[in-house]
Amino acid sequence: MNKQEIISNMAAESGLSKKDCAAALDAYIASVKKSLKEGDAVRLVGFGTFDVKKRSARTGKNPKTGESMKIPECKVPTFKAGKELKTAVNGKK
């Protein structure tokens, strides 16, 4: 499902216009990005948690040349599904 399909589904479920749903989705995405950039987790009870984890520096291999290279430490966004989402995906009620 892509962004336009999500907007269409939101409009059908909520009765709002696609324009309003697009604005709401864009605002939601911007809010999540801002919170993660500031180091805050975003918790949606029942749905899941967006968080930032630190990935340690490590040594990797260049797949083209096979030579070793250092991969620097970085932050990566993560998502952990909540209980209700897991239950919905598994088809249980």
In a domain, 31, yes or no: yes
Assess if residue 88 is contained within a domain: no
> Do the domain assignments include residue 70?
no
pTM of the model: 0.80
* Domains: count for the chain: 1
Helices 18-37 and 3-14: crossing angle in degrees, nearest 10, is: 120
Sequence letter at residue 11: A
In a domain, 80, yes or no: no
Residue 4 inside a domain? The answer is yes
Contact call for residues 77 and 36 (beta carbons, < 8 A): yes
- Does residue 28 belong to any structural domain of this protein? yes
Task: Write out pLDDT tens, residues 15-51.
Answer: 999 999 999 999 999 999 999 999 999 999 999 999 9
Q: How far apart are CA 21 and CA 48, in angstroms?
A: 21
pLDDT of residue 91: 84
Q: Is the pLDDT of residue 93 over 80?
A: no
92 domain-assigned: no
Residue type, 53: K
Domain that holds residue 25: 1-39
Separation CA 12–CA 38 (nearest Å): 34
